[in-house]
């Protein structure tokens, strides 16, 4: 069961999604964060941090599954496509990057922890 808590600051409204569980109320993606060996070995640390930040700053309610499609553009730029299914959300970013990577990344919140993994590790 999902609940919405609206908090108004001096500058903007902040939506926080709460998930009711048998252990109490927890914040989606506000728990311990883990990465798999594949992410550790293939995805630069700065891109990992950026993906966690994009989830944190998501302007819509967060789904338990976040998907990032990373692609290396011919121009040498790093393209990041961030997708979630419910509610539907999709946004693309393009960064100047020395060594762009190509990968499909899942970030899954299972209430006790969040895990970032390569799609091939699922």
Domain ranges for the chain = 31-121
**Torsional class of 75: left (φ above 0), alpha (ψ -120 to 50), beta (otherwise):** alpha
Tokens of 7: 């908090």
Q: What is the pTM of this model?
A: 0.76
**Residues 89-121: tens digit of each pLDDT:** 999 999 999 999 999 999 999 888 999 999 999
| pLDDT bracket for residue 55 (50, 70, 90) | very high
- What's the rounded Cα separation, in Å, for the pair 56 and 59? 9
- Alpha-carbon distance of 92 to 40, in angstroms, equals 23
Residues 6+ apart with CB under 8 A from 48: 35, 39, 116
Does the domain formed by 31-121 have CATH 3.10.450.150? yes
Separation CA 21–CA 65 (nearest Å): 17
pLDDT of residue 3: 30
């Amino acid at each position: 069961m999902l609940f919405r808590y609206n908090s108004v600051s001096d500058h903007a409204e902040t939506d926080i999604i709460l998930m009711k569980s048998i252990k109490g109320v927890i914040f989606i993606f506000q728990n311990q964060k883990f990465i798999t060996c594949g992410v550790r070995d293939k995805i630069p640390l700065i891109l990992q941090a950026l993906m966690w930040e994009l989830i944190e700053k998501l302007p819509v309610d967060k789904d338990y599954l976040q998907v990032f499609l990373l692609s290396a553009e011919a121009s040498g730029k790093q393209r990041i496509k961030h997708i979630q299914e419910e509610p539907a959300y999709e946004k693309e970013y393009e960064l100047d990057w020395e060594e762009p990577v190509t990968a499909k990344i899942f970030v899954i919140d299972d209430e006790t922890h969040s895990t970032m993994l390569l799609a091939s590790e699922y």
